[in-house]
Amino acid sequence: MGPLTKRTQGRDLRAFWLLAPTMAVLAVVIAYPVLRAVYLSFQDDAGLNEETGRFESGGFAGFQHYLMWLTGDCGTGAGSCPDGNLGSDFWQAVGITFFFAVVTVAIEVVLGLWMATVMNRTFVGRSLLRASVLIPWAIPTAVTAKLWFFIFAENGIANKMFGTDIAWTTDPWTSRFAVIIADVWKTTPFMALLILAGLQLIPSDVYEAARVDGASKWKQFVHITLPLVKPALMVAVLFRTLDVLRMYDLPAILTSTSGASPTATVSILVVDEMRSGNFNSASALSTMVFLMIFAVAFIMVKFLGANVVRTQEEQRKGVR
């Protein structure tokens, strides 16, 4: 047992030294910025102290920045309240962010499932179709935003095609749906690709047995395709939800970069705050964004992950 224990410990120690450089790089690139942002979120911005009338470099502010974003109360002391960025802007940005997440992910699930079902069939030119479908996803987001900006311009293709005079990028609700259309066009292929990977794992014998039993196409889809593709579908939904919650470049380029814009997400609010020079309050807001995304990811993994594990267990039992 002695030599075996030493050899086991030696392997564990060698594995540690092999992983140490990577962990050190991750600590510098990821851990330090996160911890630094959290630290700055509790510091006051430098500015004029309203009580003393002097310019101060700031100090410990406690939860002042967090309360400012949640309630709109800026408090007193060095670092005045950022102009126009109060609690109302934060909750509006949160509502817009979740609105984009729910609507875009729901549409992408339907379209992605349909596209994956079509690409999973055997026909001439299937490889060409799969490659061409990925083109919108491969285009950089900034290029996509500019492309749709020209389409939704006042004299753009959309208004000329439908004979309308819609303010696609300035009207509050129209601009939101313009962002949704552009995002769905770009990221639906990614959703379809993940779902297609799940469809290809389904044995063809299952569908043949269903056809022999007289099951219609709809019953095959409901009772075979959906249950068996559920693990891949849940992973796709999780990835896309977390991606939309941190959306910045598409609405910022397509409509506006202002924090008061009707399409301003929380990430746009963070960048707008940094451009205003309020780095500490921006750090508090970015920390809240991190906690929001972490909470959504935890809830989805907790519930959707359990469903995926349960589905896989049921599949193994069915095979046995």
> 108 is written with which tokens?
């992408």
Are 111 and 34 in the same domain?
no
Average model confidence (pLDDT) across the chain: 80
Identify the pLDDT of residue 184.
Answer: 94
pLDDT higher than threshold 90 for residue 100:
yes
Does any domain span residue 80?
A: no
The CATH number covering residue 175 comes to: 1.10.3720.10
Tens of pLDDT, residues 126-156: 788 888 888 888 889 889 999 999 999 888 8
Are 223 and 119 in the same domain?
yes
Are 136 and 248 in the same domain?
yes
- Domain range for 197: 87-319
What's the pTM? 0.79
Answer with the one of 41, 71, 101 that is the final residue of a domain.
71
Are 28 and 144 in the same domain?
no
Tens of pLDDT, residues 281-292: 888 888 988 888
Q: Looking at 63-77, 93-107, 165-179, 255-269, which range is the least confident one?
A: 63-77
Tens of pLDDT, residues 192-236: 988 998 888 888 888 888 888 888 888 888 888 888 888 888 888
> 195 is written with which tokens?
């779902």
Does any domain span residue 160?
A: yes
- What secondary structure, in 3-state letters, does 95-124 show? HHHHHHHHHHHHHHHHHHHHHHHHHCCCCC
Are 61 and 105 in the same domain?
no
Are 289 and 162 in the same domain?
yes
pLDDT higher than threshold 80 for residue 116:
yes
pLDDT higher than threshold 90 for residue 110:
yes
pLDDT higher than threshold 50 for residue 78:
no
pLDDT higher than threshold 70 for residue 79:
no
Are 254 and 157 in the same domain?
yes
Are 16 and 145 in the same domain?
no
Are 98 and 50 in the same domain?
no
Q: What percent of the chain has pLDDT over 70?
A: 80
Tens of pLDDT, residues 10-21: 455 777 788 888
Under 8 Å between Cβ of 259 and 272: yes
Does any domain span residue 81?
A: no
pLDDT higher than threshold 70 for residue 57:
no
| Residue entry with tokens 């999973």 | 120
Identify the pLDDT of residue 172.
Answer: 85
- Long-range pairs for 286-290 at CB < 8 Å and ≥24 separation? 286/37, 286/41, 287/37, 287/38, 287/41, 288/66, 288/69, 289/245, 289/246, 290/34
Are 133 and 275 in the same domain?
yes
Are 197 and 101 in the same domain?
yes
Residue 261 or 208, more confident: 208
Please count the structural domains in the chain. 2
